[in-house]
Amino acid sequence: MALVLEQVSRTFNQVKAVSDVNLTIQAGEIVGLLGTSGCGKSTLLRAISGLDQHYTGSIVLNDHVITGIHDTIGFIFQEPRLLPWLDVKANITFGLKGAPADEIERALRFIDYVGLTGKEALYPRQLSGGMAQRVAIARALVTSPETLLLDEPFSALDAFTKMQLQDLLLRIWQKYQTTMVLVTHDIDEALYLCDRIIILKGQPGTVVDDIKIKQQRPRDRGSVELAQYKTDILAKLEINNG
Amino acid sequence: MAKVSNQVSSSYFSRKEHWESSRWHPRRYGRIWLGCLLPALIVVFWEFASRQGLVEAYQLPAPTVILTKLIELTQSGELAGHIYITVYRVFAGFLLGSVVAIILAVLVGFWRKAEYIFDPIIQAFRSIPSLAWVPLFILWMGIGESSKITMISVGVFFPVYLNLVSGILTVDRKLIEVGKMYKLSFLQQVWRIVLPASLPSFLIGLRSGLGLGWMFVVAAELMGASQGLGYLLVLGQNTLSPETILVSIVLFAIIGKLSDWVLKLLEARLLRWQDRFVRGG
Ligand SMILES: Nc1ncnc2c1ncn2[C@@H]1O[C@H](COP(=O)(O)OP(=O)(O)O)[C@@H](O)[C@H]1O
Ligand SMILES: [Mg+2]
């Protein structure tokens, strides 16, 4: 039960975007892919998701090489990507294929879970950024994915909404033990959420470090330990001595 | 000094508030009120000018004369027949043109080969002013209903086709990816993402198609008809009866507007979800 990347590289028009990534992610782990903009984080995540299949190397999920989009993988994009013509409830059930009654029941459960009760009939245009991203989270969860891929899911939100949704993500993890691969450029976010932080750097992007965060969750955002990790990571990214 | 000016402005505001809550304030009856102002003035002036003999009655009859003519035509039962046949032609042409446009647009939008096959010829035909077809259609199909309906459908076809194709081709790739993540089949993707996403542009196409349909029905009926509002235009010209022409023009305006309004209602209903720019004031 693991997600394994072996020698994954991706080239766009003769230019390499990521190079020889090897990575093993255990079931139930929250792993952050951290790096500066343009180092290939999204590219890597899209390869894992199956949306992009033009990479080299192999990606293995539960001992099966992934060759396309996988039922047990959910994706949360940077933008909510809601369908503007569907209301909240219909957006959440978008990926369900069961009987309508079951669908509605399931959707209602998740609407409650992400804190959108009473907003079922609103259209995306009537939602704030945070609410829209909650809908996107519920939409991804409703199909019970074993693995959740998140591409900078909170980067467009204000600091407070961001923290709320990070906590929501942790609650989800506690309840379902979903494996999560979280792409982010926010060190604090990675430190608050992840069991492991993979640091990508350069163009083409390569893995430069793999840091285990041993602190128990829930973590204190202001703790000295996390601050120490942050200094280390900044040094690794060579941002401070630039 | 400051105090005085303060008082002045506060009394100004209280009067303004009173005006704002009054039932004649533009905000309550605003649009209708403002919109009727100019036409009403024109009609009054027109009537006045006619009665004073400032314009010749055989060129521009007074509004009351036109109204009398309208009533006369209605009571003789003639008018209903003219209206019916014209609306029938527009509707039939609109339906035919739209259906063909939808079929071709869906083919071209989803299937690249169809685009290579159909699009060049459609673009070439588009550069022919559609009215130029009239003589040919009459030659082929006579001056009966089929040539008129075909003409109208040619007019309707292009805006519907072009808007729907562009709607389909500009669907946000990001939404398609959402569909892919849920492993939608091709048909499901079309039905659940592409078509709803291209609906706004499709409806724009329908509305401009309908507008052209009304334009083309006039052309078709001018060319040769024994009934219809367009025929009334010809009749008015031949019998030197400007009031008949004006009755027909007014009816074209009203019915055209009504049909557009129906589509607008449909649009408002179908596009409730859309986030649209709303003008202030
Ligand atoms: N579809 C694409 N076509 C061409 N180049 C791309 C494409 N997607 C990403 N790239 C390039 O790959 C590199 C990594 O991009 P990306 O994975 O989006 O970075 P990140 O998500 O880390 O900011 C960038 O240099 C980017 O220009
Ligand atoms: Mg990115």
The structural domains of chain B, ordered by start, are 65-270 (1.10.3720.10)
Average pLDDT (B252-259) is 94
Confidence of residue B20 (pLDDT cuts 50, 70, 90): low
Q: Report yes or no: B98 and B160 within 8 Å, Cβ to Cβ.
A: yes
As a residue count, chain B comes to 281
pLDDT at B13 over 60: no
Confidence of residue A1 (pLDDT cuts 50, 70, 90): low
Kindly report whether the peptide bond that precedes residue A204 is cis, defined as omega within 30 degrees of 0.
yes
Q: pLDDT tens for residues B173-209?
A: 999 999 999 999 989 999 999 999 999 999 999 999 9
Task: Give the pair of three-digit tokens for residue A137.
Answer: 């989270």
Nearest to A91 by CA among A133, A57, A61, A50: A133
Rg (CA), chain A: 18
Residue located nearest, by CA, to atom 20 of ligand 1: A38
Beta bridge partners, B71, equal none
Tell me A178's DSSP state.
-
**For residue A157, is it within any domain?**
yes
Q: How far apart are CA B84 and CA B226, in angstroms?
A: 13
Residues 20-39 of A with CB under 8 A from B: none
Helix (H) or strand (E) holding B2: helix B2-21
Average pLDDT (B115-120) is 91
| Proportion of chain A above pLDDT 90, given as a percent | 81
Q: What is the pLDDT of residue A199?
A: 95
Average pLDDT (A193-201) is 95
Nearest to B90 by CA among B275, B273, B258, B269: B258
| Single-letter amino acid, residue B177 | E
pLDDT at B260 over 90: yes
Q: How far apart are CA B184 and CA B192, in angstroms?
A: 9
Average pLDDT (A192-200) is 96
Q: Which ligand is nearest to the CA of A37?
A: 1
A85 and chain B in contact, CB less than 8 A = yes
Q: Are A83 and B178 inside 8 Å of each other by CB?
A: yes
**For residue A131, is it within any domain?**
no
- Atom from ligand 1 closest to the CA of residue A40: 17
Q: Which residues are CB-contacts of B115 (< 8 A; sequence separation ≥ 6)?
A: B108, B109
Q: What is the pLDDT of residue A160?
A: 92
pLDDT at B17 over 80: no
Q: Are B181 and A71 inside 8 Å of each other by CB?
A: no
pLDDT at A109 over 90: no
Nearest to B50 by CA among B36, B42, B69, B241: B42
Q: How far apart are CA B136 and CA B143, in angstroms?
A: 11
Q: What is the pLDDT of residue B57?
A: 81
Specify the higher pLDDT residue, A188 or A98. Answer: A188
Q: Which residues are CB-contacts of A85 (< 8 A; sequence separation ≥ 6)?
A: A123, B196, B197, B199, B273
Q: pLDDT tens for residues A84-96?
A: 999 999 999 998 8
Exposed, middle or buried, A25 (CB in 10 Å: 0-12/13-18/19+)? Answer: buried
First to last CA, chain A: 41
Nearest to A30 by CA among A157, A192, A200: A192
pLDDT at B252 over 50: yes
HSE, CB side, 13 Å, CA atoms: give it for residue A72: 13
Q: What is the pLDDT of residue A108?
A: 87
Average pLDDT (A13-32) is 95
For position A61, which CATH number holds? Answer: 3.40.50.300
A201 Cβ below 6 A of ligand 1? no
Task: Give the pair of three-digit tokens for residue B68.
Answer: 């009398």
Q: What is the DSSP string of A1-63?
A: -EEEEEEEEEEETTEEEEEEEEEEEETT-EEEEE--TTSSHHHHHHHHHTS---EEEEEEETT
Average pLDDT (A166-186) is 94
pLDDT at B216 over 50: yes
Residue with tokens 């055209």: B256
At B177, phi and psi to the nearest 5? -65, -35
Q: How far is CA B87 from CA B30, B98, B123, B141, B210, in A?
A: 32, 16, 29, 20, 11
Q: How far is the CA of A17 from the centre of ligand 1 (A)?
A: 6
For residues A95, A100, A102, A108, the Cα torsion angle rounded to the nearest 10 degrees is 70
Average pLDDT (B247-262) is 94
Confidence of residue A211 (pLDDT cuts 50, 70, 90): very high
Exposed, middle or buried, A104 (CB in 10 Å: 0-12/13-18/19+)? Answer: middle
A57 and chain B in contact, CB less than 8 A = no
**For residue A160, is it within any domain?**
yes
Q: What is the pLDDT of residue A206?
A: 94
Q: How far is CA A129 from CA A124, A125, B10, B269, in A?
A: 9, 10, 40, 25
Number of structural domains in chain A: 1
**For residue A106, is it within any domain?**
no
**For residue A191, is it within any domain?**
yes
**For residue A6, is it within any domain?**
yes
Query: CB count, 10 Å around CB of A241?
Result: 6
Exposed, middle or buried, B116 (CB in 10 Å: 0-12/13-18/19+)? Answer: exposed
Residue A217: domain span: 2-82+146-236
Estimate to the nearest angstrom the gap between the alpha carbon of A38 and the chain centroid.
17
Q: Are A84 and B273 inside 8 Å of each other by CB?
A: yes
Residue of A nearest to B172 (CA): A81
Confidence of residue B22 (pLDDT cuts 50, 70, 90): low
Task: Give the pair of three-digit tokens for residue A108.
Answer: 């209602």
| Complete edge-to-edge strand list for the sheet that includes strand A206-212 | A73-76, A147-151, A179-184, A30-34, A196-201, A206-212
**For residue A177, is it within any domain?**
yes
**For residue A136, is it within any domain?**
no
Between strands A55-61 and A30-34, the pairing is: unpaired
Q: pLDDT tens for residues A43-85?
A: 999 999 999 999 999 999 999 999 899 989 999 999 999 999 9
Q: How far is the CA of A183 from the centre of ligand 2 (A)?
A: 8
Q: Are A69 and B181 inside 8 Å of each other by CB?
A: yes
Task: Give the pair of three-digit tokens for residue B25.
Answer: 């304030």
Give me chain B's average pLDDT, please.
Answer: 87
HSE, CB side, 13 Å, CA atoms: give it for residue B24: 1
| Proportion of chain B above pLDDT 90, given as a percent | 63
Q: What is the pLDDT of residue B11?
A: 46
Average pLDDT (A221-231) is 93
A204 Cβ below 6 A of ligand 1? no
Q: What is the pLDDT of residue A100?
A: 80
Specify the higher pLDDT residue, B225 or A223. Answer: A223
pLDDT at B5 over 80: no
Q: What is the pLDDT of residue B3?
A: 42
Residue located nearest, by CA, to atom 11 of ligand 1: A17
User: Model ipTM?
Assistant: 0.91
Q: pLDDT tens for residues B69-99?
A: 999 999 998 899 999 999 999 999 999 999 9
Q: What is the pLDDT of residue B8?
A: 43
